């Protein structure tokens, strides 16, 4: 019999990725024993604050047959711990650069939460010099050992680390823009939660697209497109909801008094739900749509942009447009352009350095 934790995790994944009864049926069907191909998932940074709960949640995902956990230290213990859970996937832990290749070999999906977390007073740009180097070296290994894998980038600043990854893959001759994703799902989760509270609607029925990037004003929730519709939200409330969504990470960092960042909500939704969506797309499940920071032509002069993306067997099947925007959202889009462009260019410049 499944534990209550396992049942709860599955139920949460169903709600997060399947807002309708029909899609819920597709979710259950995709999880049937007969329809599950073997899928290897590698988590790079598996011993960290995001990596550990994310590793647990990927162990609970029945679409995963092989779970490879890598970090510079501590992974054998994490692997031993989650390996005792009676679910489908076989778990292996790898530690240190010498074992990175073995951790990656044959992976269908690589999730990268590696790096240092945010601390009080620290902006995402403050993280850059440390995390950029980590991402660059990990992506060089991905290009060598699993060049066809989907890559889910969680390491911040995502607005820069995704362009870094793209440039590393280009240099190695392995770049496929359909297979590189910046994970911005946490912005969507926050927007849904905050909107539901103000609109007084069930949170598991809410959908709010979030576009742009994954830092500060580059995060643009499109509350005008939120469903279910609410006509009782004033312009002031929309502005406040937007600001809170943009500052969600800072809110958590300050609440934890410098002793952590948004590790749990990040792992639970941004990591696990988006990874689950990618696996379902790889397995041929139809109509899988999530917001993600990808190579894009949606906004001129911004080569990477977060918007709705349809996922399929090769990764990105289609990058969807913005749809109709309110005047407030149009202004927000204009306001984010320069900052997002600078972050993208900063990542490209870093990757070009030897």
pLDDT of res. 268:
57
pLDDT of res. 17:
45
Catalytic residue among 124, 214, 308, 341: 214
pLDDT of res. 6:
45
The per-type count for the chain, helices as H runs and strands as E runs, is: 13, 11
- Which ranges in 207-317 belong to alpha helices (H)? 235-246, 248-255, 263-265, 274-282
- Whether 25 sits among the annotated catalytic residues: the reply is no
pLDDT of res. 321:
95
pLDDT of res. 25:
41
178/6 Cα distance (integer angstroms): 32
pLDDT of res. 258:
64
pLDDT of res. 129:
83
Collapsed DSSP state (helix, strand, coil) of residue 127: coil
Unique residue bearing structure tokens 């309708």: 20
> Average pLDDT per run of 10 along the chain, which is 354 residues long?
47 48 39 71 95 95 98 97 97 97 98 82 74 96 98 95 98 98 95 94 96 96 96 92 86 65 59 95 97 97 97 98 97 98 97 84
pLDDT of res. 232:
82
DSSP structural state of residue 117:
P
Q: Whose CA is closest to 123, among 271, 210, 213, 249? A: 249
pLDDT of res. 118:
64
pLDDT of res. 313:
97
Give the strand pairing for 109-112 and 90-95: unpaired
pLDDT of res. 262:
52
pLDDT of res. 9:
55
pLDDT of res. 248:
80
Collapsed DSSP state (helix, strand, coil) of residue 349: helix
204/186 Cα distance (integer angstroms): 15
Q: What are phi and psi of 70, to 5 degrees?
A: -130, 140
Residue 1, class by beta-carbon neighbours within 10 Å (0-12 exposed, 13-18 middle, 19+ buried)? exposed
């Amino acid at each position: 019999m499944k534990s209550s934790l396992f049942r709860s995790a599955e139920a949460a994944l169903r709600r997060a990725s399947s807002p309708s009864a029909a899609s819920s049926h597709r979710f259950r069907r995709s999880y049937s024993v007969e329809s599950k191909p073997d899928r290897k998932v590698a988590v790079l940074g598996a011993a960290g604050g995001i990596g550990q709960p994310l590793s647990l949640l990927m162990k609970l995902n029945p679409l995963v047959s092989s779970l490879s956990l890598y970090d510079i230290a501590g992974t054998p213990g994490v692997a031993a711990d989650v390996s005792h859970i009676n679910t489908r996937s076989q778990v292996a832990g790898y530690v240190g650069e010498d074992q990175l290749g073995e951790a990656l070999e044959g992976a269908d999906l690589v999730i990268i939460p590696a790096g240092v977390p945010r601390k009080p007073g620290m902006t995402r740009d403050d993280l850059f010099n440390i995390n950029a180097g980590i991402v660059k070296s990990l992506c060089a290994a991905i290009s060598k050992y699993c060049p066809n894998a989907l890559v889910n980038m969680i390491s911040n600043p995502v607005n820069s680390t995704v362009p870094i990854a793209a440039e590393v893959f280009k240099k190695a001759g392995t770049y496929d823009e359909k297979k590189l994703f910046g994970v911005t799902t946490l912005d969507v989760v926050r927007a849904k939660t905050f909107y539901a509270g103000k609109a007084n609607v069930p949170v598991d029925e809410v959908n709010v697209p979030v576009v742009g990037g994954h830092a500060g004003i580059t995060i643009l929730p499109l509350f005008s497109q939120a469903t279910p519709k609410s006509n009782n939200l004033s312009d002031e409330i929309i502005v406040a909801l937007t600001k809170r969504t943009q500052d969600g990470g800072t809110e958590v960092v300050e609440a934890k008094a410098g002793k952590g960042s948004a590790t749990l909500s990040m792992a639970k939704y941004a990591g696990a739900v988006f990874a689950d969506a990618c696996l379902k797309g790889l397995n041929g499940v139809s109509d899988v749509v999530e917001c993600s920071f990808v190579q894009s032509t949606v906004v001129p002069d911004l080569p990477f942009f977060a918007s709705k993306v349809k996922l399929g067997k090769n990764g990105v099947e289609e990058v969807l447009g913005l749809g109709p925007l309110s005047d407030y959202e149009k202004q927000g889009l204009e306001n984010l352009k320069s900052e997002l462009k600078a972050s993208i260019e900063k990542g490209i410049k870093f990757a070009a350095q030897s």
